[in-house]
Amino acid sequence: MSTTDAKIATDLLKPNDTVLCAFSGGADSLALLILLKAYLKEGNLTALYINHNLRDSLELEKEVSLNQKNCETLNVPLKIVTIEKDLIEKSAKERGNGIEEAARYHRYKELQRTAKELNCKYIATAHNSDDQAETILMGLLQGSVVEGISRERANIIRPILHLSREEIEQIVKQSNLKWANDSTNDQLYYLRNKVRHTIVAPIKETFSGYKRALNRVVEQNRRLLEAIEPEVEKLVGKATVSEESITIGLDDLRNSSDAVIEQTLYRLWNLFCEKRRIRLSQSTIELILEKKQNNFKSDIFDIKGATVEINSNTLILRREKDKTESFCATVDSKETFLTDTMVLVETERENAHIYLKESCLLRPLLVRSVEESDRITLKEGTKKVTDLFSEWKIENSKRWRVPLLVDAKGVVAVLASQYGGKNRVAARCLFSSPLAHKSSTYYSVVEIKGNECG
């Protein structure tokens, strides 16, 4: 087994270490399990499969059956944890960062709980060099701090981060095992899938060394951050962080470079939003730096997760009160109830707020409240939905009530006419000719009075 042993990052663990392997059953985690089994002392490895309850039950049953068979073949004990149905969707609403982030949160929570229960020294995940490249690209294109995926953090290790997806699949094929295919990996509704299938592929064709180049960007960024770390720590130490707010002295900000301020704000924000994991946007950083250029004139403005207040001496970020107001439902009938007072209905043409070209939709079709990352591609270009709300002067406290129709490709329509805005439909769902409207599906938002639809 020397050829497989060489593929494990042996500087991260020793053969006598006890390891819990995050095991989805896909090619990546199956290859990791094969390599760990070959490297670790007998009895020191356990696989954990987590059922997120997000896919068809028949698909999940087949996946579990295959995973059990593979673990029996490898002689590795398999533990299965099933997350309560609808818990991840509920968490996504509460945390405000989408299904992917909520699923990851619960996955790592269960991994840590099980590792503690089994007294495992490490949790091993199967992230690879392709995952790394995708993560760096997403960070770059979103204007985030480019850190990439770490090889180790606390008790979490990633022993095959250096391997490519092609190498990983070859390891599984050589072992004569079959891996499970997760149908959601092909759905472009999820950001990582969209990056993997529509952005990485053409980059790979043109730049064969793109992974090395992206890793160099991360390494250069790491060295720069290390250089300013003492100043960042000093500024963080001067700030006051409580459950409800962050307070920083304006003189401290004025005497610090923009790079130090940026990293300080990220560091403090991560402490501030540790439970909800709301991302501090680059646009917010730029806005605060712009305020610095104008000598921090007194101001107050809202950002996602907080209100920023600038007074004569301090900059204060106050925690936004948790909002339970939101809705999300699948549009699969003539009436879709949104709240106690709102319902989305398929209606007659003359009463419709919007009409959609049915053939353009990639179902399922959802109707839900706005999320910070939502964008809609109109004839005049792609716009953030929250920017449209700002143009229409819709109050922050009322924005959650505006229904968005969303399919697997993204936002289809915004129905804001009853809330001080306009109704807008994505360009892909518009008709080229008015005569074609007969094949449309018409939708309206109706206010409910008592127990009757108005």
Residue 35: CB atoms within 10 A of its CB come to 26
Q: Do the Cβ atoms of 210 and 204 come closer than 8 Å? A: yes
If pLDDT is split at 50, 70 and 90, which confidence band does 437 have?
low
Whether the Cβ atoms of residue 171 and residue 177 lie closer than 8 Å to each other: no
Give the pLDDT band of residue 432 (cuts 50, 70, 90): low
* pLDDT value of position 201: 84
The CA distance from 316 to 309, in Å, is: 5
Name the range with the highest mean pLDDT among 9-18, 267-276, 353-362. 9-18
List pLDDT tens digits, range 323-346: 456 788 888 778 888 876 778 888
* Lowest pLDDT segment from 18-32, 357-371, 387-401: 357-371
Residue 42: its pLDDT value, please?
Answer: 93
Q: Specify the fold of 211-319.
A: Chorismate Mutase Domain, subunit A (1.20.59)
Average pLDDT of the segment spanning 16-44? 94
The string of DSSP letters for 362-417 reads: -SPPEEE---TT-EEEETTEEEEHHHHHHHTT--GGGGGGS-EEEETTEEEEEE-G
Q: Is the pLDDT of residue 3 over 50?
A: no
Bridge partners of 407? 410
Query: What is the pLDDT at residue 438?
Result: 60
d(CA 40, CA 420): 63
For the chain, the residue count is 454
Domain 2-206 adopts which CATH fold?
Answer: Rossmann fold (3.40.50)
Q: Is 393 left (phi over 0), alpha (psi -120 to 50) or beta?
A: left
Measured between alpha carbons, how far is 69 from 81 in angstroms, rounded to an integer? Answer: 17
Enclosing H/E stretch for 136: helix 129-141
Q: What share of the chain is helix, strand, coil (3-state, %, to 5)?
A: 45, 20, 35
Q: Whole-angstrom Cα distance, residue 314 to residue 325?
A: 32
Measure CA of the first residue to CA of the last residue in the chain; give whole Å.
72
Domains 2-206 and 211-319 share a fold: no
Q: Is the pLDDT of residue 67 over 90?
A: yes
Give the integer Cα–Cα distance in Å for 120 and 46.
Answer: 9
The span from the CA of 45 to the CA of 96, in Å, is: 35
Task: Outline where DSSP puts E strands in 95-151.
Answer: 122-124
Task: Give the per-residue pLDDT at 76.
Answer: 95
CA atoms within 13 A on the CB side of 270: 7
CA-based nearest residue to 134, from 165, 177, 98: 165
Question: Residue for token digits 């991260």?
Answer: 12
Average pLDDT over residues 131-139: 87
For the chain, give the mean pLDDT: 84
Looking at residue 217, its pLDDT comes to 87
In the block, residue with structure tokens 């706005």 = 370
List the chain domain ranges.
2-206, 211-319, 328-453
Q: Using CA atoms, how far apart are residues 173 and 293, in angstroms rounded to an integer?
A: 58
- Are 206 and 200 contacting, i.e. CB atoms less than 8 angstroms apart? no
Strand segments (E) across 39-192: 45-51, 78-82, 122-124, 152-153, 156-157
Return the DSSP state at 294: T
Report residue 1's pLDDT band, with 50, 70 and 90 as the boundaries. Answer: very low
* Token output for 324: 């339970």
d(CA 158, CA 212): 18
The CA–CA distances, whole Å, from 440 to 354, 364, 406 equal 9, 17, 17
- At residue 169, does pLDDT exceed 80? yes
- Report whether pLDDT(402) > 70: yes
- Residue 259's pLDDT is what? 92
For residue 404, name the pLDDT band (cuts at 50, 70, 90): very high
Helix extents (H) in 255-326: 258-272, 282-293
